[in-house]
Structure formats: structure tokens, C-alpha cells
Structure 1
């Protein structure tokens, strides 16, 4: 009768999927293999896409304003309210994802974006276009980077130590 080598006992607990995690390089907050995105990750993806779109819309309306379009300033000002809504939804989604075991990176990035947006509003109200316009460009880039980070899957605890 052929001898059979003993099978290792299945692991349970936080390190149960260590071999799989070592191969994939993906761990959840407990050190075990991540089984996929945390709850509300779809909401975070949608929110970051919405935020990036609203920031792009602000850039478009800023161009119209600088070109002297009729009501350009009014349109640019009114679309800033949509940016606030997009930021609030994004921050809320990032909090929910973080509480579900996801990375803190999207939350931190969203909060920095919110602070810079408040500075941007103050600069726009004061008429300081020399700083307002470049900061607006930077915010558009930051919104796109945040969306790329989230849509690329780097926001659900997949960072390696």
C-alpha cells in the first residue's frame, strides 16, 4: 500500500490565508488575504468619479469666465456648490470604506482636497486669480489622482507593509 504524506491541518484565524496572501501580496487589515473590496467601495468609486467630473466642470467654467463669456462668473460660482456636494459624498464614502477595513489613503486625500477647496473658494471670492487659477488646476489633477487611486484598487487595504 503506498504511503500517503500527511496533509497539513487547515489554518483558521487571522493568518489563515497567509500563503495565498504571500503569493498575491494583498492583505486585509488583519494580515489575512483580502477577499475583495470592502463594503461601500462601489460608492467610493462613484463618488471619486463624480468629484473628478465636477472639478473638470469647474475648470471648463473658469475658462469661459476668463474668455469673457456672458454669465461666466455666475456659472462658475454656481457649479462650485456641486463641488461641495461631490466632496461631501466622497468624504462620507471614504469614511465608510475605512470603517469597513479599507485604506485610510482616500479619506486623507479627500480631506486635503476639501481643505484646498475651501482655500480655493476664498481665493476666488477675493479675486486673486494669480493663485486661484493654478490651485484650480492642481485640484483637478488631485481629483483625477484620487479617482485613479480608487479605481486602480489601491484603496481597499491592499498596501503592503
Structure 2
């Protein structure tokens, strides 16, 4: 679970940097466009790392398929986003970017929920037989 947390937080941080970088470009810092493109390339790598971490978290069989589905969607959509940006198809690139940032931040928050580790990697507790008290006395 720690790998999923680390990769999803790194991915979310880079995702949050993207609108900041492009905003700086729009304000006249033209070098920020190159940084925006470079971070987009790095995000393809982090999406792959998140996918690998989700597969590893799935192996124990305690998380369910949701993290794997989210990671797979991220793995497909990030390269698509990179292609849309490279072709300057902003009518799709911008809304998809907003969805990717929001989804990545949500997923990192989900992965870092304090109780998530207890439910994901610890062995289930043995159930104890029900204790029948004699209260109230008959």
C-alpha cells in the first residue's frame, strides 16, 4: 500500500503543477510552456508507476478492483492528454486536464486515508465466539 500512496501523491503533485505552469505561460513566462510539456512527459512515467503499484496492492486481494481501474484509466488518459496538448486541441485538452487533476488529487487522498492500510495489508482478525452474558439475571 505504501507504493500506491507514494506514487499517487507524486502523480497528484505533478498534476497540480500543470495548471500552475500553463498559467505562468499565459502570464508571459514563455519558458513555462517547456516545463509544462516536460512535466506532461514525466506524468506518463508516474502513471505507469501508479498502475504497477495498484497491481501490487491488488495481489493481496484486499483493496478490490477500484484502485486498479483508476490507475488503468490514468495510464490511458495521461498519454492521450499529452497528445491532445501537442496537437493544440485545447477544447478537449483543458477539460480533460481539469478532470485528471481532480481525479489524481482525489485518488491520492483516498490512498492516504489513515485506515486504508489496516484494511489493505493486515491479516484479518480471527473471529471470536459470541459471549453470552447472564445479565440480567433470570
* TM value normalised by structure 2: 0.76
* Cα deviations by residue, 1:16-50 (Å, 9 ceiling, x for unpaired): xxxxxxxxxxxxxxxxxxxxxxxxx1111111111
Q: Any conservation in 2 of the 1:103–1:156 contact (CA below 8 Å)?
A: no
Tell me how large the CA RMSD over aligned residues is.
Answer: 1.9
Q: Distance in 2 between matches of 1:76 and 1:53?
A: 13
Poorly superposed stretches of 4+, deviation over 4 Å: none
Q: Distance in 2 between matches of 1:93 and 1:117?
A: 17
Partner of 2:128: none
Partner of 2:108: 147
* TM value normalised by structure 1: 0.66
Partner of 1:44: 4
Give 1:63-78 correspondences, 5 Å limit. Answer: 63-78=23-38
Residue 65 of structure 1 deviates from its aligned partner by: 2.2
2:39 pairs, out of 79, 99, 103, with 79
Q: Any conservation in 2 of the 1:123–1:131 contact (CA below 8 Å)?
A: yes
| Larger helix share, 1 or 2 | 2
If you compute each CA radius of gyration, which structure gives the higher value, 1 or 2?
A: 1
Q: Distance in 1 between matches of 2:19 and 2:66?
A: 25
Q: Any conservation in 2 of the 1:44–1:93 contact (CA below 8 Å)?
A: yes
What is the number of equivalent residue pairs in this alignment?
A: 117
Partner of 1:36: none
